[in-house]
Amino acid sequence: MPIRYVDVLTVEQALIKAGNGHKFQIRAIVIMSLQYMVAGMFHIAITELYFHQTQYKCIDQQYNIYQCNEVEFCKQYYRDDIDKEKITFASQLGDIIQFFQLVCDDKIIILILITSYYLGGCIGSLYYGEQMEIRQGRQSIMIETLALLGFTCCLTILIPNAYLLSVALFFANFFLRGFLNSSMILFFEISSENLQKLSPSILLTAYGIGTIISPVIIDSFQLNWQQSMLILFGGPAVMFSVLIKFMQESPRMLVIKKKYHQAKIVLQIISQCNGREMPKDWMLEDEVRVKELKDKMQEITQQFGVKEVAKGYNFSSIFRYNSTRVRMFCLLYLYSIIIIGQFQTSKEIDAFSRLDRQKTELLLSTVATVGYLISGYASLNYNRKDVLKIVLGVSAMFNFLYAVFPIFQLSTNAIALMSFYDRLMHTIIMMILIMSRLILSFGCAFINIYALEVFPTSLRHYGFSGMVFLTEFLFIFQETYVVFCHTFGLNTSIGMFFLLLFGILTLNKLRETYDQPLKENVEELNDELLNNVYVL
């Protein structure tokens, strides 16, 4: 009887043999980059373009328009002899603010709209984090969330008042966060080697490009918020959701859920698309181990009538095991302060910049995109913890410099603004803020890479979704906090300086993942019957 040789491969080895950085992965990069670009365009429009309050205009006795402050604007707004729509549309206000007349006493509705948007992101992160476990995959969630995001954007053009719009914004970010989380994880898990390390940088760079081009397109074609929702966001999101069909489910997740046959089919499809050949006879390593275990358990299962099912998890699972619990708490803190620091710095630049609104937004988006882009190089070449220490340390230094720099000495007199001292001080402070924004944007992309690597496949969706949940929740209060500090002349960088320094200490509790194989299962469960549960 001839001897039959069977190649036994781990899922990582199988992905390498199926081809990495070839046709299938390039197709995935193109499809998901387009989707992330639309997501970036939508997010910057909602958080910046549609709700900005740059400049108020009033009408003098000769019916000429002139620039005024908000108090004077509101006095005129409530006069019976003033055309409310005229002064509102003459002011440099966000399109949604102008459309629904959300000024003066109605400004509270702006807070409701923004809060609804971020609250939707919180709940969406939790809900679809759980759905990735229930559905045992990522691909179906990507299709569902992107399509529903598109339909929600399209339906907003029919909304008659701001309160219904708050509901639409809630569901828009609910679906957006579900898509961003599931797609980031899927792209990471269908890749291997260098492309795997680059995946967050690639997707966030595409996202950053979306934030750059969104204001340009809207201003160039003079699109109002309803036209943008339909043409720029809704329509493309629905169309691009169809392209996800050309991708495949995560083979790593399928292996975790004991769906070995389906995982091998996915790997075979990837290899065929890449023009690579898998071994004639091959099995997955986990499949072999389970087969051996089943042979040993056969007598027991027949005697007692038990059956094998894949081990189920929920959000509490990530806090159940010491290895994931400590990492989760540390990453919740690190991820939050980096993202919040990035947001806070953008608000400081916006308040301090002497550029007009469009140029300031372009500057902020460009700096962030450059940070996302260069994080890819660091992810290929450097230890994760060392890079994060540098990010936190340098960011803390920039925040300290901005906090202690003598900003109060800058003149606000129009003539004095041309003095050499004033220009020098302003340039130095702007450079500090821009470098802080660049470093934190770099850190944002880099910590995404680290978070995807540090969590095992079985709990990666819970860990990643949990981090995004906390960040979206903090965003609800962050805008109010920044406005409060600016109103009372306080510097937001003082507190951030201490938070960033403390973040360096938390890195001591985390393990290094650079050039380490991905863990598929929780470390404490490696010897627990292959993570299976046997039930009657």
| pTM for the full predicted model | 0.90
pLDDT at 152: 96
Q: Which of 435, 348, 345, 427 is nearest to 394 (CA)?
A: 435
Give 338 or 195, the one with higher predicted confidence.
Answer: 338
Give 324 or 385, the one with higher predicted confidence.
Answer: 385
pLDDT at 374: 95
Average of pLDDT values for 47-57?
A: 83
Residue 391: pLDDT band by 50, 70, 90 thresholds? very high
DSSP symbol at 519: P
Average of pLDDT values for 458-472?
A: 92
Give per-residue pLDDT as tens, 104-124: 888 899 989 999 999 999 999
Q: Do residues 147 and 198 lie in contact, with contact meaning Cβ atoms separated by under 8 Å?
A: no
Q: Which of 441, 450, 443 is nearest to 514 (CA)?
A: 450
Give 416 or 349, the one with higher predicted confidence.
Answer: 349
Find which of 40-44, 194-198, 514-518 is predicted with most confidence, using mean pLDDT. Answer: 40-44
Name the strands in the sheet holding 92-93, side by side, starting at the edge strand that comes first in the sequence: 65-68, 53-59, 92-93
Instruction: State yes or no: pLDDT of 60 exceeds 90.
Output: no
pLDDT at 525: 67
Phi, psi (rounded to 5 degrees) for 62: -90, 10
Give per-residue pLDDT as tens, 431-452: 999 999 999 999 999 999 999 9
Q: Do residues 183 and 203 lie in contact, with contact meaning Cβ atoms separated by under 8 Å?
A: yes
pLDDT at 206: 96
Tell me the residue ranges of DSSP E strands in 89-237: 92-93
Average of pLDDT values for 481-502?
A: 81
Find which of 14-23, 32-41, 101-110 is predicted with most confidence, using mean pLDDT. Answer: 32-41
Instruction: State yes or no: pLDDT of 301 exceeds 60.
Output: no
Phi, psi (rounded to 5 degrees) for 20: -130, 130
pLDDT at 11: 84
Amino acid letter, 528: E
Computed over every residue of the chain, the mean pLDDT equals 85
pLDDT at 166: 96
Percent of the chain scored above 90 by pLDDT? 45
pLDDT at 300: 54
Instruction: State yes or no: pLDDT of 534 exceeds 50.
Output: no
Average of pLDDT values for 143-151?
A: 96
Average of pLDDT values for 25-49?
A: 92
